[in-house]
Amino acid sequence: MTDQSNSAGSRADAVIRVLLADDEEMIRHSVRVILKHADDIEVVGEAANGAEAVRLAAEHGPDVVLLDVCMPVLDGLAAVEPLVALDPAPQVVMLTTFDDEENVLWALRAGATGFLLKDEGPQELIRAVRAAVAGDAVLSPGVTGSVIRRMLGGGSAGVGAAAPGSSVAGLTDRERDVLVMLGAGLSNLEIGTRLGIGVGTVKTHVGSILGKTGCESRVQAALVAYQAGLMS
C-alpha cells in the first residue's frame, strides 16, 4: 500500500482491519474469501445486523467497515452515525445495489466514506478497502453517475449538495482534469496513474479543488463536475 495519506503513510506496512456487516451469510462468506487474497487485509469480525456491527466495531477497532444498507435490528443507514462517532472512527463503506441510490445519499450525509456495488469484481472490492483507509472516497463507477443525477434532480434536498457559489472558473487545466476523474469515482492512485503524476501531487490538486470550489468532500466535488458540464 502506498503512502496515500499521512495516516496511511504512518501505517504503510500495517494490516488493514475490516469488519463485515451483512445479514446474508453467503455474501459475508464471499467477501471474506475475496479479502483473504490480499496480504494487507484482515477480516476481524462479522455482523449480521447494524447493532452487532456497532458493538463489534467498538470492540475490535476496525479500520474499515463494509456495511450493508438493509439489515434487521438496526439497518445500515442507522448504523452509520454511531460507527463514525467511535474513537477511533472506522471508514464506513456501504454495500449497495443499483436500486439503493436514495439510501446511499443519506449514508453519505451521515458520514459514510462511500459506496460499492455488491456485484463489483474482487479486485474492485480490495481496491475499495485500500482506498477507504487511505482517505479516498469510495464511489463505485457503476453507480456514481446515477447518484449524482439524483442529487441534481433534487430528490434528496440538501444531501451532498454542492457548496453555495461553488465554481470551476478558478481551476487550472490540470485541476479540471482531476475534477473530472473525481466525478468518475476514481481514487487518488487511479487518477495519478492516468495523469502520470504522483499520488501526493494528486492529493495537492484535490485539496486545491476543494478549497477553490468551497466543497467539503470529494462527493461534493463530483457533483460540481456534473453541474459544470464537465462530465460527458
Cβ neighbourhood burial of 191 (10 Å; 0-12, 13-18, 19+): buried
More confident residue, 48 or 188: 48
Q: Which of the four pLDDT bands, split at 50, 70 and 90, describes residue 189?
A: confident
Tell me what the pLDDT averaged over the chain comes to: 81
Q: How would you class 59 by CB atoms within 10 Å of its CB: exposed for 0-12, middle for 13-18, buried for 19 or more?
A: exposed
Confidence grade of residue 23 (pLDDT, cut at 50, 70, 90): very high
Q: What's the whole-model pTM score?
A: 0.70
State pLDDT tens for residues 76-97: 889 999 999 999 999 999 887 7
- Residue 158 pLDDT greater than 50, yes or no: no
pLDDT band at 65, cuts 50/70/90?
very high
The angle at the Cα of 140, spanning 70 to 201, to the nearest 5 degrees, equals 135
C-alpha distances (whole Å) from 87 to each of 58, 59, 76, 84, 148 are 8, 11, 19, 8, 31
Does the structure show a pLDDT above 50 at 155?
no
Residue 14: C-alpha distances to residues 1, 33, 74, 91, 177 (Å):
9, 20, 31, 16, 32
**How much is the pLDDT for 113?**
82
